[in-house]
Amino acid sequence: METILEPFGFEFFRNGLWAALMVGTLCGLIGVFIVLRGMSYIGHGLSHAAFGGAVLGYVINLNFYVGAGMAGFLAAVLINQLSKGNKIKSDAAIGIVTTAFFALGVALISRVRQFTKSFDAALFGNILGVSTIDLLIIAGVLVLTILAVFFLYKPLLFSTFDNEAAKVFGIRTELIQLVFSLLLAMSIIASMNVVGVTMIAATLVIPASTARLLTDSFGRMLVMSAGIGAFMGVAGMYSSYQFDAASGATIVLCGAFIFCCVLLFNYIRDRLDNHEHMHSHGGMVHSHLHHHEDEHDHKHSEQTHTHDDGHTHTHDGHTHSHEVDEIKQK
Amino acid sequence: MIRLTDVSAGYKKNPVLTHLSLDIEEGRFAGIVGPTGTGKTTLLKTILGSHEVHGGSVEVMGRPVRSLAPGTIGYVPQLETVDWTFPVTVEEVIMMGLFAKRTYWPWPTKSEKSQVHALAEKLGVGQCLHHHIRDISGGQQQRVFLARALISNPRLLVLDEPTSGVDIKTQHDVLHLLQSLNKDGITILITTHDLNAVASHLPWVICFNKTVIAQGKPDDVFTEDILSKTYGGDLAIIRHDGHLLIAHNAKNKHRH
């Protein structure tokens, strides 16, 4: 028990845990829109651009968040401008712009080698890298995001579902897109030190995708995704301490494990709902694909069977009950 | 009801509509027909006010279309453009028709809920309000999106290809439903590729190929000359027992 509770005695761990809880919730919330809008690649790209900006900012004595934020904003503008024409699609524009920013960061680090250690946290996430300022910034972005999602729920839902129709119905889709882009950029920059640039995309996508497997309702997906994100953040941060591994990696691994469990659960549930039973009636053994809903009874439609002895007969529809294993002839 | 005056729209370097003028009277149930890629969708979006216009004016109900209050025009998109995997229920989709009201509370009010339930019942989808949109039939899906467009009580209803991708029975049901809505006083404008559905169900047709070739009753407009100008030939018109049938003229195609 002492070993389990041991890390909670350290302030750095408690800070890291709070940060992971908030980052998980934040990425879970924003991730729903990322996944449903098919924007997974932009999350990955923006975090890389922000990293380049953070390194550049460090070189010219700018605050980490200012450098990362400016690079993220500039990258978003450049991607938008590049993909406006017909020749370069947005995924190519994201690839060009954000990788160029990331490359700038890597080039600066390799040029001045003493920086290398300082940016490990930004690349892979670090339990030790969470300061009180980081906590305050993450909390601020989380509160802002929760408020935006709450009060802009309707336009966000409509424009995510069908942007073209939303525009016709009077939703200010361009404003909503702008607000969303700002929230995304802020979330990525706030999460960088905890999850790491290389892992952010997965932190955004895994909770939302897992929630999508569990529900067909948008509202429930939002709540579930935030919950799954929070859980994977806490579990990942705890594992990071126990296994002495980078927090970004352990958080993503926890998320991937949860996703696989849900996938398996869905598979088993589907198999149980739609499966074949062997039946024996009238001296004939056969199987059908069944769908189980509220009750276990199911009906056979008219069918023709050929028996081993060569004679063929037709059923005119009857009902089985597996529990009592008897055939109620209609 | 709808007045386009000298409208140019589309891409700046490659305009789709140039100096187009069109009048559609209030109370019409009109179908826009024409080949693919000739500007039907651009025309529809121009009328809806969602497409940038480079010149001319677009007025709906006597006012510039972009100055209309949200919900004045009801819009039903092509079902083929809908993301059927999106996690949303029938009730939530219909409710979206009320989203333009500037309320920031995420949950619907009691009166909004009862409004949605009453309209869903009227359109025959009341029993599937809590179903996912993928889990209902094609006809029900069309009615759900129709309900979303009608929930704000529009005087003009615009539908993009409501007859595409559905079976003939559903197509028939949808057009009859639109007929009854039109009788209730709603002006309806649809685009379609199905000339026979237009000939048998719609009282007014607009033949369109980058510009208005002709408009009027199907009996008057569906002539070989007008259809040839609209589609570039190869269409035969068969009049039988008071019915109008348009068929692809295979003979002409193979003539040397």
pLDDT category at A301 given cuts 50, 70, 90 is very low
What would the pLDDT profile of A133-145 be if each residue is shown by its tens digit? Answer: 889 999 999 999 9
Q: Nearest-CA distance from A149 to chain B in Å?
A: 9
Q: Nearest-CA distance from A173 to chain B in Å?
A: 11
Helix ranges (DSSP H) in A60-198: 64-82, 90-111, 120-124, 132-151, 153-161, 163-168, 173-195
Residue contact B69–A170, C-beta within 8 A: yes
Instruction: State the complex-level ipTM.
Output: 0.87
b (16+ CB within 10 A) / e for A255-264: beebbeebee
**What would the two tokens of residue B101 be?**
């009201």
**What would the two tokens of residue A43 be?**
């999350």
User: What are the CA-CA distances from residue A187 to residues A93, A103, A149, B155, B235 (Å)?
Assistant: 21, 22, 13, 43, 58
Chain B residues with CB-CB distance to A170 below 8 A? 69-71, 100
Laid out side by side, the sheet with B53-60 consists of: B15-24, B2-10, B53-60, B63-64
Residue contact A218–B92, C-beta within 8 A: yes
Rounded mean pLDDT, B102-123: 88
**What would the two tokens of residue A120 be?**
């490990």
Q: What is the pLDDT of residue B159?
A: 94
Residue contact A157–B73, C-beta within 8 A: no
Q: Which of B48, B87, B104 sits opposite A168 (nearest CB)?
A: B48
In A129-158, the residues whose Cβ lies within 8 Å of chain B are: 150-155, 157-158
Residue contact A158–B96, C-beta within 8 A: yes
Q: What is the pLDDT of residue A295?
A: 43
User: Where do the structural domains in chain A lie, given as residue ranges?
Assistant: 16-269
d(CA A211, CA A215): 6
Residue contact B132–A216, C-beta within 8 A: yes
Chain B residues with CB-CB distance to A167 below 8 A? 50
Rounded mean pLDDT, A41-51: 87
Residue type, A302: E
In 3-state terms, what secondary structure has residue B197?
helix
pLDDT category at A275 given cuts 50, 70, 90 is low
Q: Length of chain A, please? A: 330
In 3-state terms, what secondary structure has residue A229?
helix
Q: Which of A155, A215, A220 sits opposite B99 (nearest CB)?
A: A155
**What would the two tokens of residue B181 be?**
């809505």
Higher pLDDT: B157 or B105? It is: B157
Higher pLDDT: B173 or A214? It is: A214
**What would the two tokens of residue A185 be?**
């950029």
Check pLDDT > 60 for residue A30. yes
A162 touches chain B (CB under 8 A): yes
Q: What mean pLDDT is reported for chain A?
A: 81
Check pLDDT > 70 for residue A310. no
**What domains can be seen in chain B, in order of their start residue?**
1-72+156-226 (3.40.50.300), 82-153 (no CATH)
Chain A residues with CB-CB distance to B50 below 8 A? 164, 167-168
User: What are the CA-CA distances from residue B7 to residues B3, B21, B26 (Å)?
Assistant: 10, 6, 20
**What would the two tokens of residue A29 be?**
């919330």
pLDDT category at A284 given cuts 50, 70, 90 is low
When computed from its CA atoms, the radius of gyration of chain B, rounded to whole angstroms, is 19
Which homologous superfamily does the CATH classification assign to the domain defined by A16-269?
ABC transporter involved in vitamin B12 uptake, BtuC (1.10.3470.10)
Residue contact A154–B48, C-beta within 8 A: no
Rounded mean pLDDT, B131-139: 91
Nearest residue of B to residue A163, measured between CA atoms: B82
pLDDT category at A287 given cuts 50, 70, 90 is low
A165 touches chain B (CB under 8 A): yes
Nearest residue of B to residue A215, measured between CA atoms: B87
Rounded mean pLDDT, A78-90: 80
pLDDT category at A207 given cuts 50, 70, 90 is very high
Q: Which sign, positive or negative, has the C-alpha torsion A236, A240, A242, A245?
A: positive
A273 touches chain B (CB under 8 A): no
